[in-house]
Structure 1
Amino acid sequence: MPRGPRRERSRFRVFALIALTSLTPAAAMAAGSAAAARTAAPADSLSAHVALPAESLVARPPAPRPPSGLVANDVPNDAGQAIQLEWKLSPDDATTSAIVTQYFLARSETPGGPWAVVDSVARGTTSKVDQTVDRNVDYFYRVDAVGPGGRTEAGSVTGPVRGVSQWINSTRWSVLTGCIVFFAFVLYYIASAQSGKKPFVRRIPGIDAIEEAIGRATEMGRPVLYVPGIQDISDIQTVAGLVILESVAKLTARYETPIIVPVTYPIPFTIAEEMVKGGYLHAGRPESYDPNSVRFVSPEQFAYVASVTGVMLRDRPAAHIFMGSFFAESLLLAETGFATGAIQVAGTANVHQLPFFVVACDYTLIGEELYAASAYLSGEPKLVGSLKGADLMKLLILGTVLIGCLLETLNVHGLTTWMVTQ
C-alpha cells in the first residue's frame, strides 16, 4: 500500500513542532498572531455580507411639539378647591400621525419647580379641571406633550393662580328663591292660625275614626291601646305619633276610658308620659291620670311585639291605634288585633308596611296623612302653618313643572337654564 505521503506529513508536523519550541516567546507570539489573522480573515469577509436587523433601519419618530396658550383660572361658585385649565393643541396633534398620544398636566408652587404631574389627558383634549388644589395657595402650571418620540416640556409656565372660595353660588338663585317662597307661605299661615283664623285642612276619615274607636271602647268598658311606633325620638314619625297621643289622651280622659301606651325607648317613654299627663290636664281631669298607663317594654323588636300582643289577648282593648314607624312587627300586631275583634286605626309613612295595615286595620293613614293628623288633632298653629305652607309649595312646584314642560315644547329654555344648579 502507498504509505509514503502520510509518513512525510507526520515528519513535517514533528519538525514544525520542534521549530516552534525553539523560537523565542516574542517570535512565537508574532507567528500565532499571523496565523489568527489568516484564520479570521474569512470570517470578517463573511460578516461584511450579513444584513443588519430591520428595526435598526426604521427612523425614530420626532419628539412632539408642546401645546400653547395655556390659561388657568379659578373655578367659580365652588369652595376654592379647583382650577380650570385650557390650552391650544400641539401642532403635531392636528395630524393623523401618532406623534402626540397624550398630555401631562404638571403643577408646581414655584415657577422654577419642582414639577409634579397631577393628571394626564388623551390627545385632542383642550381643557381639564384640577380638583386636587388647596384653598388660597398659589400654583404654576404647564402642559407637556407626550408621544413615541418622548416627552416635550412646555416652553412657558402659566401662573400664579389660586383657588378662592365664594360665599354665594350664583347658580343656585332658584334654590334661594324657592326657600324664601316656602318660608313666606309657612310664616303667613302660622300668623293666620295664631290670630284665630284657622286655615282649612281637609278632613281625613282615619282621623275621624280615632274618636269613633275611643267611643266604642268607652261603650264596651274596655281600654284603648296606643302604640307610637318602635323607633327612637330621632325618627320624625315617632314625633308625629307622640303629638297625636296627646289628643288621644285628651279624648280618653274626657270619656273616662283607660289608655295603655307601651313604649320601646327611654326618651319616647318620658315624652309619652308627659303627653298623656298633658292630655288629662287639658281635659280638666288631671286626677284621673294613671302613671302606669305608659309602660316601658323593651327596645328589642320582637320582645316588644310579644309584650304588646300579650296585652291584646289579656286585657282585650276595644280600640287599637298604631301611629308611628313600624317594620316587620306591623303584621303581627295588626293580625293579633284583628283576631281579638278590636277596631284598629293605623298610620305610618313606611311604604313597605302599609299593605299589612291596609288589609288588617279598619282605617289607615297613608304617608303624609300621619303628619297631617298630628297638625289637625293638636291644632297647634306652628304645625298647621307648616302643613299648609308645604301643601301650597307642592302646588307651586307642580305648576312650575307644567310651565317648564310647556316652555321646553315651545323651544324656550330660559326657565330650565335658571333652575339648573351645580
Structure 2
Amino acid sequence: MDRYRVVFLILMLFLSLSVYGDEKIAPNDVQETFSDTTLFSVKINPISNFKGEDIPNDAGQSIGLSWEVSDDKSVNFYKILRSENPDGPFNSIVQLTSKFRRYDDRDDIKDKKDYYYKIIVMDNERESIESDVYGPYKSYAQWFNKKRAIVLFLALLFGFFILYYMKKAKKDPNMFIRKISGLDALDDAVGRSTEMGKPIMYILGIGEITELPTLAGLNILGDVAQKAFEYGSSIRVPCYDPVVMTTAQEVVKQSAYAAGRPDAFNKNDIMYITKDQFGYAAGCDGMMIREKPGAIFLQGVFYAEALILAETGYSVGAIQIAGTTMTSQLPFFVAACDYTLIGEEMLAASAYLSKDPDMVGTIKGEDAGKLIILLFTLIMVLMGTLGYIFHISPIIKIFDAIVALFIQG
C-alpha cells in the first residue's frame, strides 16, 4: 500500500512539472517575443545605387558622388565619410541635408589615388544607419575641356585672321584702316597750338601704370610730343601718379630725340600734381587758366573729374581731343570736347599712328573676326525668330543645339 502511494505521488509530481514547463515555452509566446524585440528593431538603409566617378573636363583633384534614396521622408541628414583604405579609418568630410543627391568631393583629393566612401544616414528618430563601403574611386586630370571647344574655335578663328592680315600688311604698308577722326585731328591740334604760340597740355587721368587706358595714353603721348617738338612747340604733362610721371618723362624725352630736338626737352614740363582726385583736377584747371593752352589732350582713366577738366578746357578756347575706356565718362567728353576716342579706338591708336605692319595686321584681324561674329549673331537671330514664329522644327532644333553649345562653353 505504501509502495503504491509513493508511485502515485511521483507520477503526480512529474505531470505537474510537465504542465508548468509547457506554459513557459509555448511556441506562440516565443514567436511573439521575437516579433516585438528583434524584427521591429531592424533599420533598412535608404541609400541605394551609390556611384563615384572622376568629374570630367576639369583639372583633376575631384570625385563626383551620387546616390538614390528609397525613402527621403525618413532622412534627416547625411554624413559622408572617406578613407584611403577600405578597412578605415574613415573621416567625415561633409554633412548634407536630405535634399542632396550629389556631392563633388574636392577636399584634398590627389589624382590617381584610391578613395573609399561610406554614408551615415541620420533619420528623424535620431538613429544612425551606416552604409557599406563603396569604392575604390580615383580622380584624373583632363588635358582638354570639351565644354570649352567653342572658345578654342573662336581663338583659332581670330588667330587665323590676325596672322593673315599681318602677312598682308607687310606686303602692303598702306593697307586701309577705318578712319579715326580724333587721331586724324592730332596734327591740326598741334599745328593750331603752335601757330597761336601756346603750349600743348596732355592729361593722362588718374589711372596707374598698370591700367590699359594709361598705357594707351602714354603711347599717344609719344606721337603728340614728337610732333610738338617737330613744330617747335612745348608740351605740359601734369601727372596724378609718380610712376606714371617718371614713365611720361622718358616717353617725352625719347620723342625729343626722335624729332632731332633733344635740347627742347625740359624735365620740369612733366610734373607731379597730387594723388588726390579732385586736388589733381584743381591743379590741372589752374594750369589751364594760367597758361591757356592751344590744345588739350585728355587720354587715360577718368572718373568724376572728367567734366570738370573738359569744361575748363572749353572755357579757355582750346581744341580738345579726349579718349577713355570708361563708358560712364564718355558722354561728358562727347559733349565738351571736339573729338573723342571711344573705347577701343584709344587702344588701337598706336597701330593707327605708327602704321607698324604687325600692329595694323592685329587690328585688321580683330575687326574681321568681329565682323564674322556679328554676321553669325544676325543669322542666329533670324533663325530663332523664324523658327519659333512659324514653328519650323528643323530650324528650332539647330538653333537650340547651337545655343546649348555656346552656353556650356
Q: Which segment is superposed worse, 357-366 or 268-277?
A: 268-277
1:304 matches 2:284: no
- Distance in 2 between the 1:296 and 1:102 partners? 63
Q: Which one of 106, 112, 137 corresponds to residue 131 of structure 1?
A: 106
Partner SS for 1:260:
strand
Distance 1:148 1:351, change over 3 A: closer
- Distance in 1 between the 2:98 and 2:235 partners? 76
Distance 1:292 1:127, change over 3 A: closer
Q: Which one of 370, 374, 378 corresponds to residue 402 of structure 1?
A: 378
- Distance in 1 between the 2:305 and 2:157 partners? 41
1:316 Cα deviation from its structure 2 partner: 1.4
- Corresponding letter in the other structure for 1:171: K
1:403 Cα deviation from its structure 2 partner: 4.0
Aligned residue in 2 for 1:161: 137
- Distance in 1 between the 2:405 and 2:241 partners? 47
Map 1:235-384; keep pairs closer than 5 Å: 235-384=211-360
Map 1:224-239; keep pairs closer than 5 Å: 224-239=200-215
Partner SS for 1:105:
strand
Conservation of the 8 A alpha-carbon contact between 2:182 and 2:321: yes
1:310 Cα deviation from its structure 2 partner: 2.0
1:360 Cα deviation from its structure 2 partner: 1.9
Aligned residue in 1 for 2:118: 142
Conservation of the 8 A alpha-carbon contact between 1:226 and 1:261: yes
Map 1:192-211; keep pairs closer than 5 Å: 192-211=168-187
Q: Which segment is superposed worse, 138-147 or 230-239?
A: 138-147
1:100 Cα deviation from its structure 2 partner: 4.4
Q: Alpha-carbon deviations, 1:344-400, whole Å to 9, x = none?
A: 111111122222222222222222221233321232333323322222222222233
**Which structure's CA Rg is the greater one?**
1
Partner SS for 2:206:
coil
1:81 Cα deviation from its structure 2 partner: 2.9
Q: Alpha-carbon deviations, 1:206-227, whole Å to 9, x = none?
A: 2222222222212211111111
Aligned residue in 1 for 2:66: 86
1:146 Cα deviation from its structure 2 partner: 3.8
Conservation of the 8 A alpha-carbon contact between 1:64 and 1:146: no
1:415 matches 2:390: no
- Distance in 2 between the 1:85 and 1:309 partners? 64
Distance 1:256 1:367, change over 3 A: same
Distance 1:404 1:260, change over 3 A: same
Partner SS for 1:281:
helix
- Distance in 1 between the 2:281 and 2:67 partners? 67
Conservation of the 8 A alpha-carbon contact between 1:64 and 1:99: no
Q: Which segment is superposed worse, 299-308 or 314-323?
A: 299-308
- Corresponding letter in the other structure for 1:151: S
Aligned residue in 1 for 2:128: 151
Structure 2, unaligned stretches of length 5 or more? 1-38, 388-394
- The TM-score, its normalising length taken from structure 2, stands at 0.78
Partner SS for 1:324:
strand
Distance 1:63 1:75, change over 3 A: same
Conservation of the 8 A alpha-carbon contact between 2:324 and 2:346: yes
- Distance in 1 between the 2:237 and 2:77 partners? 70
- Distance in 2 between the 1:281 and 1:352 partners? 38
**Percent identical:** 41
1:135 Cα deviation from its structure 2 partner: 1.9
1:72 matches 2:59: no
Q: Which segment is superposed worse, 187-196 or 357-366?
A: 187-196
Q: Which segment is superposed worse, 79-88 or 309-318?
A: 79-88
1:169 Cα deviation from its structure 2 partner: 1.7
Distance 1:126 1:359, change over 3 A: closer
- Distance in 2 between the 1:258 and 1:172 partners? 53
- Distance in 1 between the 2:217 and 2:101 partners? 58
Conservation of the 8 A alpha-carbon contact between 2:245 and 2:271: yes
Partner SS for 1:179:
helix
- The TM-score, its normalising length taken from structure 1, stands at 0.76
Partner SS for 2:179:
coil
Partner SS for 2:250:
helix
Partner SS for 2:201:
strand
Partner SS for 1:345:
strand
- Distance in 1 between the 2:235 and 2:98 partners? 76
Aligned residue in 2 for 1:115: 90
- Distance in 2 between the 1:132 and 1:119 partners? 9
- Distance in 2 between the 1:217 and 1:171 partners? 56
Partner SS for 2:58:
coil
Q: Which segment is superposed worse, 204-213 or 293-302?
A: 293-302
1:60 Cα deviation from its structure 2 partner: 7.9
Partner SS for 1:164:
coil
Distance 1:63 1:206, change over 3 A: same
Distance 1:218 1:73, change over 3 A: same
Partner SS for 1:261:
strand
Q: Which one of 26, 38, 43 corresponds to residue 63 of structure 1?
A: 43
Conservation of the 8 A alpha-carbon contact between 1:63 and 1:151: no
Q: How many residues were matched structurally? A: 358
Distance 1:177 1:361, change over 3 A: same
